[in-house]
Structure 1
Amino acid sequence: MVRLPLTPAEVERGQRLGALLRRARGDRSILATALEARVSPETLRKIESGRVATPAFPTIAAVAEVLGLSLDEVWAEISRPGDGSATDSAARDGRQRVAS
């Protein structure tokens, strides 16, 4: 399977997600957080650093639960206006995205 390159908006969202998780983790270690969420410490490290910009939903859900974050909080952080996403571009241009 060939993976398409990430768009700048996806990279930015990944960086925001990583920053949110780092803030929520606080002084808690990556190891303790990862083990409790049942993900590898390396996976969590990559997500927090932005190297994995589009992690799997179950991974984010598990980490968010361990850190006491709701998925609504996570979504609000990574999709805030002005992130350059296709949805924002379409809204600025007066177009609607059509689900395929």
Structure 2
Amino acid sequence: MGRMVRTPLTPEERERGERLGLLLREARGGRSMAEVAAAAGVSAETLRKIETGRAPTPAFFTVAALAGALGLSMDDLVARCALVPV
């Protein structure tokens, strides 16, 4: 599979990705990655990458699907993952 060339992530994007991953891990609780990924219609590998911050800028649709599967509102996710003012 060909890889798209991406511009390097800014520290802010990386930090937001880590915050998103942590939030999703917390919301997942005791459910398995496979279970949540299947409910969201994404691969377990995609969920793993997002949770570990290795996919810090996931597609909006992916985040929306995961939020739905985890019972999180997009407003809540955006509010909690938006950059914290310095």
TM-score by shorter chain over 0.5: yes
Is 1:38 the counterpart of 2:41? The answer is yes
What percent of counterpart residues are identical? 59
**TM-fit CA distance, 1:56:** 0.2
Is 1:23 the counterpart of 2:26? The answer is yes
> 1:12-91 to 2 correspondence within 5 Å?
12-82=15-85
* Residue ranges of structure 1 left out of the alignment (5+ in a row): 85-100
| 2-structure distance, mates of 1:18, 1:2 | 23
Q: Deviations over 1:34-90 (max 9, x none)?
A: 0110000000000000000000000000000010000001001111423x6xxxxxx
| 2-structure distance, mates of 1:2, 1:43 | 18
**TM-fit CA distance, 1:3:** 1.2
Q: Over aligned residue pairs, what C-alpha RMSD do you find?
A: 1.2
Q: Which has more radius of gyration?
A: 1
* Residue ranges of structure 2 left out of the alignment (5+ in a row): none
Post-superposition, which runs of at least 4 consecutive aligned residues in structure 1 deviate over 4 A? none
